């Protein structure tokens, strides 16, 4: 199975072959490295930008103003902060120009903790990103979703921010991409650049289904609950809503509690904006309890918006107060595992909070 | 005018350059000189009308380009106007009206922006005066944050470099703004060896950033010196002399079109009504390029007494009439805030997700 970096690479390949992508650029994005996480190896339109994030975002806006499609990378989201007013401009250009210009650009950036990245390789950007109006924000948790979302992002006429959960970039999926060789060693031999001299290396791209898409704005239920069959069950139920790396923690937490007879539905939001409220809504009406889980810091967190909306619209369906489990409101994610694990939600913490919520009755 | 400003302007030969050109041999075809004067006056009258609209309480804010006509008009005349890579892209700042007027923008367009009407095609009543946007002429949206146009210009120039297209990219901005990183980005990105970009980088140096004088903000002798460090061809020109501007811009355009490399121009010029309406928008006693150019044209026998006055009068009545009719045009509606958040008016309101 492809890992997420390979999946993104294959989507970008389809992008340059079939969807009009003219430039894929950023720091160390071109040859010989092909990206610090290898997501851009072997592509034909890649190039290395100067070490200048404002230049990268400004250039992407300019390319898009010229009507060309590009994918720009900021090497780590920790370094995207000095571009924030340019990101605002990218988001407001269509609106402020009265619809005259739209910016068909994708910005991708690795985000979040989980690789012992210390203070400047563990930041999250999702809560900040959702304040960038005019953008669409996506964040996959599996290679196949990364593949399908990247293709949708490239096709979308609006600026799309593609957040790459960096701890998941080298994790293999459980589902084959459509058309992917079944043997992962074969895939590796085809598209991973060799160690050492790469001057003569060329990738051999597998023939993937070019029409595959994961639509922006559609969530995925990764652990489904059917209360219909045992409606009279004495065990409580709940919904976990997450995206990116913490989806996997949520899945495992749900499995753990399922073994004890609890019914926990997990929703992978996949798109933060626009977000799939209908899927969240139906699930919460069904389970009566909801917790929003993500890694960004907890004050003015995107989960708070969802919790607010839940309280506003679904109050009388709730059996417990809605929760947000997010990163602690501290200046950074410290390097020592004791610090990192105390800073961003872990599976154990999710289970603990979930138990507390499941025990709560009106 | 501060002492150092006078000194700096004299170094480029302010006004005398224009006046010295003898009547017998006109530096440019007579028709072109007349056209430049006409457009300079039109642009000035338009800005003065905007200021009057502001002062009459019919608009909230004014910022614009009176005093920059001698630079902006030749720029607009030399542009290869049109849509797409094979035409020139313009990344202007809020003093770009002379360029747009020279490109053929009707006076009424600017008044619609000023009065925030729904008929304002550039912004739909959303933005300040002179925040233009003309996709059919590659004029990308003017935005208020200082200097961001310099990092965006990299992108259109890159697209033209990649496609080996005929067009070039032009970016304009003020002197104080060159302290921002985006200015440095533009120099760095446009001069990389083997990836030089076809871009005309200009700075309109009026020696002010709102109330902060040039002296004390700059250690470099001229802003153009910064381009030299990147091996970018550069020139410091008298931005108050339309003839000099025409020639030097023409040279710069020819160089970029031929070599597909960047060129840098620092034009030293006047700021005739202060920074914006926030500082009163009152006439300041600085060198007036229209006054000196018309005197020169008179001495050269190109125009006669009264010609300039009647030009002013003609455009004043056009601008007044435009204001009259814009008054009766519809305002944007409350529901318009949701328009154009996303392309094709896709819903962006979370309440409807
Ligand atoms: C990033 C940013 N900071 C501050 C401002 C407020 N501001 C508007 S114009 C201006 C001065 C600009 O001076 P200069 O670049 O010389 O251009 P000029 O107005 O003189 O033409 C400032 C500080 C702004 N618009 N954007
Ligand atoms: Mg200035």
CB–CB of B332/B118 below 8 Å?
A: yes
Quote the DSSP letter at residue B352.
G
**H helix intervals, chain B:** 3-11, 16-20, 30-55, 69-78, 97-103, 107-114, 148-162, 181-190, 224-228, 242-259, 289-299, 307-327
State which of B210, B211, B274, B286 you would mutate to test the pocket of ligand 1, scoring each by most atoms of that ligand within 8 A of its C-beta.
Answer: B210
Q: What span, in angstroms and rounded, lies between the C-alpha atoms of B207 and B142? A: 22
For residue B9, tell me if it sits in a domain: no
How far is the first Cα of chain A from the last one, in angstroms, to the nearest whole number? 45
**Segment B295-323, tens digit of pLDDT:** 999 999 999 999 999 999 999 999 999 99
Q: What span, in angstroms and rounded, lies between the C-alpha atoms of B346 and B353? A: 11
> What does the DSSP assignment read for B27-43?
SS-HHHHHHHHHHHHHH
Residue span of the structural domain in which A181 resides: 4-191
Q: Of ligand 1's atoms, which has the minimum distance to the CA of residue B146?
A: 26
Q: pLDDT tier at A229 (50, 70, 90 boundaries)?
A: low
Report pLDDT for B3: 46
**Segment B216-234, tens digit of pLDDT:** 999 999 999 999 999 999 9
Report pLDDT for B8: 47
Residues A11 and A137 in one domain: yes
pLDDT at B10 over 50: no
Residue B230: which CATH number? 3.40.50.970
CA of B50 from ligand 2 middle (Å) equals 20
Residues A75 and A182 in one domain: yes
Domain tally, chain B: 1
Residues A91-100, mean pLDDT to the nearest whole number? 98
Q: What span, in angstroms and rounded, lies between the C-alpha atoms of B146 and B238? A: 23
Q: pLDDT tier at B272 (50, 70, 90 boundaries)?
A: very high
Write out residues 155-174 of B within 8 Å (CB-CB) of A: 155-160, 162, 169
A65/B350 touch (CB, cutoff 8 Å), yes or no:
no
A50/B122 touch (CB, cutoff 8 Å), yes or no:
no
**Non-local CB neighbours of B245 within 8 Å, separated by 6+ positions:** B70, B71, B74, B75, B237, B238, B239, B267
> What does the DSSP assignment read for B244-304?
HHHHHHHHHHHHHHHH---EEEEEE---BTBSSGGGT-----S--HHHHHHHHHHHTTSS-
Q: What span, in angstroms and rounded, lies between the C-alpha atoms of B164 and B155? A: 14
pLDDT at B282 over 50: yes
Domain tally, chain A: 2
B151/A86 touch (CB, cutoff 8 Å), yes or no:
yes
The strand order across the sheet containing A46-48 reads A46-48, A21-26, A69-73, A105-111, A160-165, A136-138, A271-273
Report pLDDT for B24: 64
pLDDT at A316 over 70: yes
**Segment B105-129, tens digit of pLDDT:** 999 999 999 999 999 999 999 999 9
For residue A109, tell me if it sits in a domain: yes
A63/B155 touch (CB, cutoff 8 Å), yes or no:
yes
Any chain A CB within 8 A of the CB of B191?
A: no
For residue A201, tell me if it sits in a domain: no
For residue A205, tell me if it sits in a domain: no
Q: Is the Cβ atom of B278 under 6 angstroms away from ligand 1? A: no
For residue B119, tell me if it sits in a domain: yes
Tokens (6 digits) for B321: 């009439």
**Segment B165-218, tens digit of pLDDT:** 999 999 999 999 999 999 999 999 999 999 999 999 999 999 999 999 999 999
For residue B193, tell me if it sits in a domain: yes
Write out residues 86-105 of B within 8 Å (CB-CB) of A: 89, 91
* 3-state secondary structure at position B327: helix
Q: Of B302 and B18, which is predicted with more confidence? A: B302
Any chain A CB within 8 A of the CB of B121?
A: yes
Q: What span, in angstroms and rounded, lies between the C-alpha atoms of A14 and B86? A: 27
Residues A349-361, mean pLDDT to the nearest whole number? 96
**Catalytic: A235?**
no
Q: What span, in angstroms and rounded, lies between the C-alpha atoms of B79 and A172? A: 53
Residue span of the structural domain in which B234 resides: 27-328
Q: What span, in angstroms and rounded, lies between the C-alpha atoms of A11 and A175? A: 16
Q: What span, in angstroms and rounded, lies between the C-alpha atoms of A332 and A340? A: 9
User: Nearest chain B Cα to A87, which residue?
Assistant: B148
pLDDT at A15 over 50: yes
Q: Is the Cβ atom of B274 under 6 angstroms away from ligand 1? A: no
CB–CB of B146/B177 below 8 Å?
A: yes
> Which region among A17-31, A42-56, A225-239, A272-286 has the lowest average model confidence (pLDDT)?
A225-239
Tokens (6 digits) for B303: 């125009």
Classify burial at A183, counting beta carbons within 10 Å of its beta carbon; exposed 0-12, middle 13-18, buried 19 or more: exposed
**Segment B125-147, tens digit of pLDDT:** 999 999 999 999 999 999 999 99
For residue A75, tell me if it sits in a domain: yes
**CA A328 vs CA A123, A295, B147, B296: distances in Å:** 12, 8, 36, 70
Residue A72: which CATH number? 3.40.50.970
Pick from A66, A217, A276: CB nearest B85? A66
Q: pLDDT tier at B4 (50, 70, 90 boundaries)?
A: very low
**Segment A141-184, tens digit of pLDDT:** 999 999 999 999 999 999 999 999 999 999 999 999 999 999 99
Q: Is the Cβ atom of B145 under 6 angstroms away from ligand 1? A: yes
How far is the first Cα of chain B from the last one, in angstroms, to the nearest whole number? 58
Q: Is the Cβ atom of B170 under 6 angstroms away from ligand 1? A: no
Quote the DSSP letter at residue A289.
-
Report pLDDT for A235: 83
* 3-state secondary structure at position A109: strand
Tokens (6 digits) for A8: 């993104």
Report chain A residues whose CB lies below 8 A from the CB of B118: none
Residue A233: which CATH number? 3.40.50.920
For residue B283, tell me if it sits in a domain: yes
**Non-local CB neighbours of A191 within 8 Å, separated by 6+ positions:** A6, A9, A10, A41, A42, A203, A204, A205, A206
B151/A274 touch (CB, cutoff 8 Å), yes or no:
no
Q: What is the pTM of this model?
A: 0.96
The continuous run of DSSP H or E covering A281 comes out as helix A277-287
Report pLDDT for A27: 98
Residues A181 and A224 in one domain: no
Q: pLDDT tier at B28 (50, 70, 90 boundaries)?
A: very high
A134/B159 touch (CB, cutoff 8 Å), yes or no:
no
Residues A36 and A179 in one domain: yes
Q: Which of A174, A191, A208 is the last residue of a domain?
A: A191
The continuous run of DSSP H or E covering A152 comes out as helix A143-155
* 3-state secondary structure at position A340: helix
* 3-state secondary structure at position A329: coil
**Segment A260-312, tens digit of pLDDT:** 999 999 999 999 999 999 999 999 999 999 999 999 999 999 999 999 999 99
The protein residues having their C-beta less than 5 angstroms from ligand 2 (an ion) are B 174-176, 206, 208
For residue B19, tell me if it sits in a domain: no
For residue A71, tell me if it sits in a domain: yes
Instruction: Give the minimum alpha-carbon distance from B139 to chain A in angstroms, rounded to a whole number.
Output: 10
Q: Which of B330, B273, B317, B288 is nearest to B107 (CA)?
A: B317
For residue B49, tell me if it sits in a domain: yes
Backbone angles phi, psi at B233, to 5 degrees: -55, 140
Which residue carries 């976990």 as its tokens?
A: A240
For residue A196, tell me if it sits in a domain: no
pLDDT at B1 over 90: no
**Segment B69-100, tens digit of pLDDT:** 999 999 999 999 999 999 999 999 999 999 99
Q: pLDDT tier at A232 (50, 70, 90 boundaries)?
A: low
* 3-state secondary structure at position A134: coil
For residue A200, tell me if it sits in a domain: no
% chain B with pLDDT above 70:
93
Residues A34-48, mean pLDDT to the nearest whole number? 97
Q: Is the Cβ atom of B177 under 6 angstroms away from ligand 1? A: yes
Report pLDDT for A228: 75
């Amino acid at each position: 199975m492809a890992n997420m970096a390979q999946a993104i690479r294959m989507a970008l390949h389809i992008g340059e072959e079939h969807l009009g992508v003219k430039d894929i650029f950023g720091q160390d994005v071109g040859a010989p490295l092909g990206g610090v996480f290898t997501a851009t190896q072997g592509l034909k339109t890649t190039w290395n930008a100067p070490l200048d994030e404002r230049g990268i975002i400004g250039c992407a806006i300019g390319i898009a103003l010229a009507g060309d499609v590009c994918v720009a990378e900021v090497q780590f989201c920790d370094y995207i902060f000095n571009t924030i007013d340019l990101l605002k401009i990218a988001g407001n250009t269509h609106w402020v120009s009265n619809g005259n210009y739209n910016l068909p650009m994708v910005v991708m950036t690795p985000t979040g903790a989980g690789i012992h990245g210390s203070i400047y390789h563990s930041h999250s950007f999702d809560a900040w990103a959702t304040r960038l109006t005019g953008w669409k924000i996506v964040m996959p948790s599996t290679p196949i979703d990364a593949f399908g979302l990247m293709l949708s992002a490239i096709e979308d006429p609006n600026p799309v921010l593609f957040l790459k959960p960096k701890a998941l970039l080298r994790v293999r999926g459980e589902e084959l991409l459509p058309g992917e060789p079944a043997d992962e060693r074969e895939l590796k031999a085809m598209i991973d650049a060799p160690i050492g001299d790469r001057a003569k290396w060329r990738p051999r791209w597998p023939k993937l289904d070019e029409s595959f898409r994961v639509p922006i704005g559609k969530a995925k239920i990764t652990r489904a609950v059917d209360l219909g069959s045992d409606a009279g069950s004495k065990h409580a139920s709940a919904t976990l809503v997450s995206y990116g790396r913490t989806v996997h923690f949520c899945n495992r937490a749900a499995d753990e509690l399922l073994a004890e007879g609890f019914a926990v539905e997990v929703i992978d939001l996949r798109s933060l904006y626009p977000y799939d409220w209908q899927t969240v809504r139906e699930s919460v009406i069904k389970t009566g309890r909801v917790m929003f889980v993500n890694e960004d810091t907890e004050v003015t967190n995107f989960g708070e918006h969802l919790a607010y909306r839940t309280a506003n619209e679904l109050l009388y369906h709730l059996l417990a107060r809605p929760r947000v489990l997010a990163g602690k409101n501290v200046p950074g994610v410290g390097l020592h595992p004791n610090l990192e694990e105390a800073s961003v939600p872990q599976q154990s913490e999710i289970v603990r909070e979930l138990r507390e919520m499941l025990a709560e009755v009106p | 005018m501060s002492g150092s400003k006078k000194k700096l302007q004299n170094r480029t030969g302010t006004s005398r350059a224009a006046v010295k050109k003898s009547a017998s041999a006109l530096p440019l075809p007579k028709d072109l000189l007349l056209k430049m004067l006409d457009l300079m006056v039109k642009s000035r009258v338009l800005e003065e009308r905007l200021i009057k609209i502001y002062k009459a309480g019919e608009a909230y804010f004014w910022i614009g380009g009176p005093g920059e006509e001698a630079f902006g008009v030749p720029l607009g005349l030399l542009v290869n106007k049109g849509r797409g890579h094979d035409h020139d892209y313009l990344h202007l700042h809020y003093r770009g009206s002379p360029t747009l007027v020279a490109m053929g923008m009707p006076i009424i367009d600017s008044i619609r922006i000023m009065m925030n009407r729904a008929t304002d095609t550039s912004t739909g009543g959303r933005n300040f005066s002179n925040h233009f946007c003309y996709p059919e002429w590659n004029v990308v949206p003017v935005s208020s944050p200082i200097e961001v146009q310099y990092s965006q210009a990299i992108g259109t120039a890159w697209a033209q470099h990649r496609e080996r297209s005929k067009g070039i990219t032009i970016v304009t901005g003020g002197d104080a703004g060159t302290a921002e990183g985006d200015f440095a980005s533009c120099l760095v990105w446009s001069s990389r060896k083997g990836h030089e970009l076809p871009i005309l980088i200009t700075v309109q140096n009026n020696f002010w950033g709102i109330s902060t004088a040039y002296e004390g903000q700059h250690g470099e002798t001229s802003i153009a010196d910064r381009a030299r460090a990147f091996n970018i061809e550069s020139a410091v020109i008298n931005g108050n002399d339309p003839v000099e501007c025409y020639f030097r811009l023409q040279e710069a355009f020819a160089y970029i079109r031929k070599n597909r490399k960047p060129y840098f121009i620092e034009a030293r010029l006047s700021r005739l009504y202060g920074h914006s309406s926030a500082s009163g928008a009152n006439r300041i006693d600085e060198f007036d390029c229209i006054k000196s150019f018309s005197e020169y044209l008179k001495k050269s026998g190109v125009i006669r007494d009264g010609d300039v006055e009647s030009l002013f009068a003609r455009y004043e009545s056009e601008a007044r009439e435009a204001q009259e009719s814009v008054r009766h045009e519809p305002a944007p509606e409350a529901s318009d805030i949701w328009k154009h958040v996303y392309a094709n008016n896709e819903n962006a309101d979370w309440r409807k997700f």
